[in-house]
Structure 1
Amino acid sequence: MPAEQNSLLLERVTHKTQFRAISFHHTVSNPKTELVLYLHWHSEAEFLFLEKGEAIFKIEEQEFYLHAGEAIFIPPDLLHSAKGINESGCEFYAIVFSLSYLFDSCANPQFTRYLQPVINYGTRCTLHLIPGVPWQKDILEMLKRMYEESHKVPEYWELQMYGMLLTVWQGLYNNYLSGFETDCHYKKLSEQLSETLRYIHDSYGEDISLNELAALSNMSEGQFCRLFKKLTGFTPFGYLNRYRIIKSCKYLTGTNKKITEIAALCGFNNISYYNREFIRYIRITPSAYRKGNLNS
C-alpha cells in the first residue's frame, strides 16, 4: 500500500518473528510524491538511512533535513513521518529492531547501562547521523553493510548481523548516549521524575492533577513543569495526553469497545476533548483510525 494511503498510527508491518527481532525495509518514492513515510509509531528502535534524494523526517515535534548518505536514529515509541522536499523522489531503507535483540532482560546489567538512556530520555536521544563526523561515518558505513547483508539467506547473516548491530550501538553509546548518563543534571532529573513517570504509565486512565504529579517529585508545580519538559521534551499534560492517545489506539484496534468507552478507559471524560486530542496527534479521527485498521 502506498505510504500516503496508509493512515494508521501503530504500524501494521511485523518487524520481528519469534526468532529474529530485526527487520529491513526498502522504500522508493515516486517523483513529486510529498509524503514518503506515513505518520506512525512502533515499539522498536529504528535507523533510517537516506540512500537518494532529500527528505524532511519529523520525529514528534522535531524536524530533521536529511541529504543522501545521512541517517537518523529513532528511539522506540516515537511518532515519526517523512516528506520529500523536491520533485525527484527519494530512496531510503530502514533497520528496525527490538531493544531486547541487543540485551534480553532488564535484569541484565548491560541492558541497564547501554539501553537505559534511550528508555529514560526518549525523544532526547533522536540523532541525525552525518558522514562529516568520523564516528558517525563509521556507523553509516556499518548500516549500509547491514542492509546489504540482509539480502542473503538469514541463516548466513544472523550472528554477523547481531555483531554489527552491537558495534553500531557501541559507537552510538560511546559518543552520544553515554553523555546522558554521565551528565549529572540529566541523571538527577531522571531519578527525580522516575516515580512520576511510572505513575503516569500505571494510572493514565484515572484523573490526574498537576499538583499530584509535582508532589510525587517533591517539587513545586512551576519547577516540576520546567524540569519535566527539560527531561522528556513534553509538558506534563502533553506527555500524559500523548500516552493516553497511544494507549487508546490499542483499544481501537484490539477490541470492539465503543469509542466513548475507550476514551473513558484512557482518562478522557469528555468525548469531544478526546476526539480533538486524537486528531491533534494522529491527524485523523478515532473512527477513521479504527476503520483503516480493520480494512488493512
Structure 2
Amino acid sequence: MILDHQNGILLMRNDHLGERSFRSDDCYKLIFSPYGKGEFQTKRSDISINSGEFLIVNPHEEHKQLQITKEKFLVELNQNFLKNVASELNMPIKDPEFVLLSYKHPQITKWVIFMREFMTFNDNASVEMKQLFIENALTQLAILMLQYGPGSHLNELPIFQAANELQKVIDALRESYEEDWTLDEMAVLSGLNKYQFAHLFKKTTGLSPYSWLQMYRLIKSHYLLTHTTTTILDIALQVGFKNVGAYNNLFRRVYGKTPSLFRSSYQKE
C-alpha cells in the first residue's frame, strides 16, 4: 500500500522484505519496525531495529534492507521539504543530518500507529482525501523527526518521560553526563539489579545504557563544535569521552565524517 505526494511517499507492505543490492536515495527515509527485528546494512555498519524502533537514513546514504519481520513500513521525505520545515522551526543547520542509529521515541511510535490504522481502514478512500491526509501527515512527521530524531540539528539527545526507575537514572545522567558512570552505579540508582535495569533501559530507549550515554555526550558536543574554537581533544574530554579516539570513532560511525569535517561544514553554512 502506498500514499504518494510531491513532498514524499508512505509505504506499507508485507512482501519483498529484503533487498539484493545497495540503494542510494535523494530523500530522507524513516524506517520503522512495527512487529520485530529488522536488519539493515550500510557501507559504514550493520544496524538492527527491534520492534517499536526507527532508523532515519540521510539522503545519498547507501543502504540495503537485509530482512524485516512481517511488515515493511517506511516514509520518504523530499530533501528540500524537510529543510524548509527545519527553516520554519528556526533550526540553525540548513542540512539536518540524522545519526545512523536505531532509536525509540513514543511520539514517533504514536504517529506510525495512527498512520498504519488510517492506511488499513481507508484503502478505498477518495484520491482527494488521501492527498489531503498525506500532505498534512508528512508535515507532522517532518516536525517529529526534527524534534525526536537524534542528529546534527540538536544539542541534546531527545528524551521522554520514562518509568520512575529509569527516570531517576536518565535525569542523573543528563546532569552529570561528563562523569565516568558504570552500569552498577546506574542500576543502584534505579533500585533494580543491573540485568533488569539494562533490559528495561534498552526496551524503553532502544539503546543500552552505555550507548545512550555515549550518544548523549556526542550530541552535547555539537554546540562546542559549531559555536566555539575549542580543540577536538578538549571537546571530547569535556563531554565525558575518555580519549579523543573513542569520540572520533563514534562520530564517524554515526555521521560518516570526523568532528573536524562536521565543524568545517557547519562553518560553511
* Range into which the TM-score falls when normalised by the shorter chain: 0.5 to 0.7
Cα distance, 1:61 vs. partner?
A: 5.3
Cα distance, 1:123 vs. partner?
A: 6.5
1:198 aligns with 171
2:227 aligns with 254
CA contact (8 A) 1:196 1:213 kept: yes
Structure 2 CA distance for partners of 1:294 and 1:143, relative to 1, 3 Å: farther
Residue 211 (structure 2) pairs with residue 238 (structure 1) = yes
1:36 aligns with 26
2:112 aligns with 127
CA contact (8 A) 2:241 2:247 kept: yes
CA contact (8 A) 2:27 2:77 kept: no
CA contact (8 A) 1:217 1:224 kept: yes
CA–CA distance in 1 between the matches of 2:179 and 2:48?
A: 26
Residue 266 of structure 1, aligned match among 215, 231, 239: 239
Q: Which amino acid aligns with 2:167?
A: S
Residue 134 (structure 2) pairs with residue 144 (structure 1) = yes
Residue 58 (structure 2) pairs with residue 81 (structure 1) = yes
- State the superposition RMSD in angstroms: 4.9
Structure 2 CA distance for partners of 1:244 and 1:97, relative to 1, 3 Å: same
Q: Which amino acid aligns with 1:133?
A: T
Structure 2, gaps ≥5 residues long: 1-5, 10-21, 31-39, 64-74, 90-103, 145-160
Structure 2 CA distance for partners of 1:210 and 1:122, relative to 1, 3 Å: farther
Residue 210 of structure 1, aligned match among 167, 183, 191: 183
CA contact (8 A) 1:279 1:285 kept: yes
Q: Which amino acid aligns with 1:287?
A: S
Q: What are the residue-to-residue correspondences of 1:44-55 with 2, within 5 Å?
A: none
Residue 264 (structure 2) pairs with residue 291 (structure 1) = yes
Secondary structure in 1 matching 2:241: coil
Q: Which amino acid aligns with 2:58?
A: S
Cα distance, 1:127 vs. partner?
A: 2.4
Question: What do the CA deviations read for 1:90-128 (whole angstroms, capped 9, x no partner)?
Answer: 974457879xx9xxxxxxxxxxxxxxxxx9746655727
CA contact (8 A) 2:252 2:258 kept: yes
CA–CA distance in 2 between the matches of 1:79 and 1:293?
A: 20
| Identity rate, percent | 25
Cα distance, 1:132 vs. partner?
A: 3.4
Structure holding more helix per residue? 1
CA contact (8 A) 2:187 2:194 kept: yes
Q: Which amino acid aligns with 2:224?
A: Y
Structure 1 runs of 4+ with >3 Å offset: 25-28, 60-63, 82-85, 90-98, 119-126, 128-132, 135-148
- Count how many residue pairs are aligned between Structure 1 and Structure 2: 186
Residue 192 of structure 2, aligned match among 216, 219, 223: 219
CA contact (8 A) 1:211 1:221 kept: yes
CA contact (8 A) 1:121 1:232 kept: no
